[in-house]
């Protein structure tokens, strides 16, 4: 996926907008407990915006180290996204390919 393929207005499809975890289109809970994390994973698992949400998160964070990332976005914790970033390569249009 690259940024040109994002669904316009994907944030409007974000299921997390209906939950009280702050932010629009993303969960910005930096330290969820087990119950919250399980709920977030379930919501992200059925969210129609998940591919776009994850793509944007990965692009925004692509030059960030592990400790600079926060929040639960696109179905992944900050630590999980960091691990994903080690396997992804990005092109100039914001696209990715598995490395
Ligand atoms: S994938 Fe998860 S964090 Fe991203 S918009 Fe959907 S519900 Fe929110």
Would you kindly state where each structural domain of the chain is located, as residue ranges? 10-98
What pLDDT score was predicted for residue 18? Answer: 80
- pLDDT of amino acid 31: 76
User: Which residues is 89 bridged to in the sheet?
Assistant: 97
Q: Which atom of ligand 1 is nearest to the CA of 15?
A: 7
Q: What is the mean pLDDT of residues 2-28?
A: 73
Distance 24 CA to ligand 1 centre (A): 9
- At 40-92, the pLDDT tens digits run 899 999 999 999 999 999 988 988 998 999 889 999 999 999 999 988 776 65
Check residue 3 and give its pLDDT: 62
Scan for tokens 């998940």, then name that residue.
Answer: 50
Dist CA 37 CA 20 (whole Å): 13
**Best mutation site among 43, 46, 69 for ligand 1, i.e. most ligand atoms within 8 A of its Cβ?**
43
Task: Give the number of the atom of ligand 1 that is nearest the alpha carbon of residue 73.
Answer: 3
User: In the predicted model, is pLDDT for residue 99 greater than 90?
Assistant: no
Beta-bridge mates of residue 97: 89
Around ligand 1, the residues with Cβ closer than 6 Å are 14-16, 25-27, 43-44, 47, 49-50, 53, 73-75
Contact call for residues 25 and 11 (beta carbons, < 8 A): yes
Whole-number pLDDT of residue 17: 83
For residues 74 and 58, what is the distance between their CA atoms, to the nearest angstrom? 9
């Amino acid at each position: 996926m690259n940024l040109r393929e994002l669904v316009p207005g994907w944030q409007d499809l974000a299921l997390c907008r209906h939950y009280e975890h702050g932010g629009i289109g993303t969960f910005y809970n930096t330290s969820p407990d087990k119950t919250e994390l399980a709920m977030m994973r379930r919501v992200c698992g059925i969210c129609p915006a998940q591919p776009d949400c994850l793509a944007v998160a990965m692009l925004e964070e692509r030059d960030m180290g592990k400790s600079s990332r926060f929040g639960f976005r696109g179905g992944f914790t900050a630590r999980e996204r960091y691990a994903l970033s080690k396997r992804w390569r990005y092109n100039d249009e914001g696209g990715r390919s598995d490395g």
